[in-house]
Amino acid sequence: MRRSASDATARLWRVDLTGGHAQALTNDLWYLGDPVYAPDGSRIAFDYAPTQSAWTRLATVNAAGSAITDVYVPAQERVDAWMGSWTADSQ
């Protein structure tokens, strides 16, 4: 994860440890945090906000770098969601 020096945005990156190649998995997202790989290594879950004034939600991105999928969006105001952990079966 790389944070912006000017605001509260960050971008999630995957780095190839053998060659050092870096690939951005997301665009800049507000309050991006708590990235956790699924046990099977297929996805990364994290929390973020779609706008600066929104509450955070949970999302996943394919570890190879596909579109973000929201998996939990708080239905009420004043609720932030934070990524905790995956189940053993990558749920």
The answer on pLDDT for 40 being more than 70 is yes
The answer on pLDDT for 34 being more than 70 is yes
Averaged pLDDT, 33-51 = 91
pLDDT of residue 2: 62
Averaged pLDDT, 53-62 = 88
Averaged pLDDT, 5-11 = 79
pLDDT of residue 4: 59
What pTM value is reported for the model?
0.81
pLDDT of residue 5: 54
Question: Which of 49-60 are b and which e, b meaning 16 or more Cβ less than 10 Å from the residue's Cβ?
Answer: bbeeeebbbbbb
As a whole number of angstroms, the distance between CA 1 and CA 4 comes to 10
Q: How many CB atoms lie within 10 A of CB 84?
A: 10
